[in-house]
Amino acid sequence: MGAIIRTAAADATEEELAHDLKALTRLWKWLLGKNARAKAVTLLYQDLGLLQRVVRDTFYSDIGRIYVNNTATAAHLAEIVGAIAPEYLPKIEVSPHDVMALYNVSAQLKQALADKVWLKCGGYLVIQHMEAFTIIDVNTGKYVGDSAHGFADVVLRTNIEAAQEVARQLQLRNIGGIIIVDFIDMREEADRVQVLQMLQQALATHRVKTNVLGFTQLGLVEMTRKKNGYTLQEMFERPCPFCGGKGSVASEGSVCVDVLADLADLAARTAEPALFVETNPIVSSYIIGPAGETKAALERRFGKKLCIRGNAELKMTEYVVRVFSGDLSELDAAPFAPGELLEGFLCEKHNANKADAICRVNGYVILVKDGGELVGEKRRLRITEAHQTFACAELADKDAGGFCKKP
């Protein structure tokens, strides 16, 4: 027979190569046996699924126990393992508990996807994924060391622990490509050598080829790691639909500029007395302004009445500007009446009076007296004053509980 040994095996040990060759020959014999027993038309083999990849990539001598959630999965896994690595069959066990809950997988997954990773010493890493490379920044954080040692010792200890954690995060998140690590600046060359050796030592156990190029003149560590399938972020996250993956969205002020340009154009082209604007509630509140002052100024500027509505389903950059087709008398009517009760979410403190809070309902601003300490909660409100563009309210029952906080 013949075997193809690819460049990924350049640093593999003889034991690892023998293990892979043995697994492949077993798989081939299993396929021959399946082919002899099969009746046309039958699928003999297909691309590796999750279980097959787990068997191929992680089944080595250091595996102690393999826990599976249900008997069907265990039977499927036993079939794969029996063909590739039968010595592991006794290690497969159906757990009586929910494996995901038992090992708190959900919380660990959120932690593995977070930008900030805390170190045991009190320092932390910040991991940022770019299009061309991944940058990892090391910070001392809460670690200040002790009085017997200087700041250089704090830096060295933090960097050494960070080097170990960097290697772990690369493997955990399956990060590949160009990687830049910004360790805390070290003055002594011996310290840099020690940190670099610790990083290389931690990476030596990885089965994915990693090449550490060393420190640059700027004190950054350059390294490359072979891309091996999808990263953890690619598997469990998707680009933000609001910012398109940029990590930021247009401010309400910049969106307002576009809205006003379209309003001016439409006002110049129509003889209708009123225009309609629908935007995200944050932008609507910005256009209305404090106590409706901005809206009133715009009406004087365009010579038109304006109907401004907020729609939480719209993105920050999405809006609708058109001629108002409703009853003009509706424009002067307040959406609430004094004495009316409603449940509202207190979203922020009032800018001028921090003891009060603001509640927004489709862009309509409600000033809530004594609500500043309840920001982030949903409360029952009673309208005390109602105007065309804003209202005032009080807490309907200051002692009543039972309203849920915003998740």
Q: How far is CA 196 from CA 141, 179, 186, 226, 325, in A?
A: 21, 14, 12, 19, 70
Q: How far is CA 136 from CA 115, 139, 140, 161, in A?
A: 9, 10, 14, 14
**φ, ψ at 243 (rounded to 5°):** -105, -5
pTM: 0.59
Nearest CA among 361, 370, 353, 368 for reference residue 389 = 361
β-bridge mates for residue 62, sequence order = none
**Confidence band of 403 (pLDDT split at 50, 70, 90):** very low
pLDDT of residue 269: 92
**Confidence band of 352 (pLDDT split at 50, 70, 90):** low
> What mean pLDDT comes out for the span 258-275?
92
pLDDT of residue 166: 95
Percent share of the chain, pLDDT over 90:
27
**Average pLDDT of the chain, as a whole number:** 84
What single-letter amino acid sits at 396?
Answer: A
pLDDT of residue 326: 76
The string over 261-292, giving b where at least 16 C-beta atoms fall within 10 Å of a residue's C-beta and e elsewhere, is eebeebbeeeeeebbbbbbbbbbbbbbbbeeb
Q: Which domains does the chain have, with CATH numbers?
A: 7-101 (no CATH), 113-236 (3.40.630), 252-320 (3.40.1260.20), 341-395 (2.40.50.140)
> What mean pLDDT comes out for the span 294-319?
86
